[in-house]
């Protein structure tokens, strides 16, 4: 029996899969067909009507009375003028531009992915040994004790004696220091004896008289510090006296 057609959507649902595959962009340009037409489009029309159950004859591409009757029945079922002319409306009902095809294939649900967790074997003995063990102390290198170097004495600046304060009869160096020797007397000898006593070379008292005791103390000082032991107190001897006494 022919399929009852109420709209283009019904035609699309009722038609087999071949009808849906036959729909293309050139459906709009299909020619009008009537009795006497021949060719590929007639064969396409006959095949569609046959699939829908309106045509039972041979698909030979010749538009005859049997094809015309099938077209009339189809158009009447589709709500069109039930004549035998296949026009644009007839083609659109046969091949709707957007057919609705009902799919009966169930949508497959994705299977849950099972993730297996592999527990790596642990060596509890080694772990406990590492955790509980105390770090071994690093060997400490013995500190090297350094003996402080003996600092060289900084030469003391010698304040020269002003010319107005110099004692007559005593010679002076270029730095203004008195050159003392055995037999001299005065304040310069007092200064000499004071320095010698402070350094531990003069055992006697301070009297301002350059005699044998003072001479012996001067020679002992000169010998101690590598000077010529002549008993004459010049610039080098004064430098040692002033530098060592501070």
Where in the chain are the domains?
Answer: 8-94, 163-244
DSSP the chain: -PPP-SSHHHHHHHS-HHHHHH--GGGGGPPPB-TT-BSHHHHHHHHHHHHHTS--S---SB--HHHHHHHHHHHHHTTS--SS-B-HHHHHHHS-SS------PPPPPPPPPP-PPPPPP--HHHHHHHHHSPPPPPPPPPPPPPPPPPPPPPPPPPPPPPGGGPPTT-EE-TTS-EEB-TT-BSHHHHHHHHHHHHTT---S---SB--HHHHHHHHHHHHHTT---SS-B-HHHHHHHHHHT-
Distance CA 139, CA 25 (A): 91
Contact 241, 194 (CB under 8 A): no
pLDDT for 131 = 43
Task: Say yes or no to pLDDT of 109 above 70.
Answer: no
Same fold, 8-94 and 163-244: yes
Task: Say yes or no to pLDDT of 103 above 50.
Answer: no
pLDDT for 8 = 43
Output the average pLDDT for the chain: 76
Task: Say yes or no to pLDDT of 119 above 60.
Answer: no
Contact 181, 233 (CB under 8 A): yes
Task: Say yes or no to pLDDT of 234 above 90.
Answer: yes
The fraction of the chain above a pLDDT of 70, given in percent, is 61
Which tens digit of pLDDT belongs to each residue from 12-65? 434 544 454 444 444 447 899 999 999 999 999 999 999 999 999 999 999 999
Average pLDDT, integer, range 232-238: 93
Which tens digit of pLDDT belongs to each residue from 121-173? 444 444 344 444 455 667 676 676 665 565 554 444 456 666 767 788 788 99
Average pLDDT, integer, range 91-116: 54
CATH says 8-94 is which class? mainly alpha
pLDDT for 5 = 57
Task: Say yes or no to pLDDT of 194 above 70.
Answer: yes
CATH says 163-244 is which class? mainly alpha
CB atoms within 10 A of CB 70: 23
Question: Of how many residues is the chain composed?
Answer: 246
pLDDT band at 95 (very low <50, low <70, confident <90, very high): confident
pTM score, two decimals? 0.36
């Amino acid at each position: 029996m022919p399929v009852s057609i109420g709209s283009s959507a019904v035609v699309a649902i009722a038609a087999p899969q071949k009808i849906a595959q036959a729909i293309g962009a050139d459906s709009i340009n299909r020619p009008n067909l009537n009795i006497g037409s021949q060719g590929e489009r007639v064969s396409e029309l006959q095949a569609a009507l046959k699939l829908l159950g309106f045509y039972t004859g041979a698909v030979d591409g010749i538009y005859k009375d049997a094809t015309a009757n099938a077209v009339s029945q189809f158009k009447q079922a589709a709500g069109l003028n039930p004549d035998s002319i296949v026009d644009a409306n007839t083609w659109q009902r046969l091949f709707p531009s957007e057919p609705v095809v009902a799919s009966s294939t169930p949508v497959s649900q994705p299977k849950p992915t099972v993730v297996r967790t592999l527990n790596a074997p642990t060596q509890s003995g080694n772990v406990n040994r590492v955790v509980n063990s105390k770090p071994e102390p690093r060997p400490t290198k013995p500190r090297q004790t350094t003996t402080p170097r003996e600092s060289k004495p900084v030469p003391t600046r010698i304040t020269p004696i002003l010319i107005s304060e110099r004692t007559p009869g005593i010679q002076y160096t270029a730095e203004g220091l008195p050159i003392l020797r055995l037999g001299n007397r005065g304040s310069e000898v007092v200064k000499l004896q004071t320095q010698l006593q402070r350094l531990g070379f003069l055992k006697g008292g301070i009297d301002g008289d350059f005699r044998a005791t003072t001479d012996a103390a001067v020679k002992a000082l000169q010998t101690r510090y590598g000077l010529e032991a002549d008993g004459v107190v010049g610039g080098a001897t004064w430098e040692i006296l002033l530098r060592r006494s501070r």
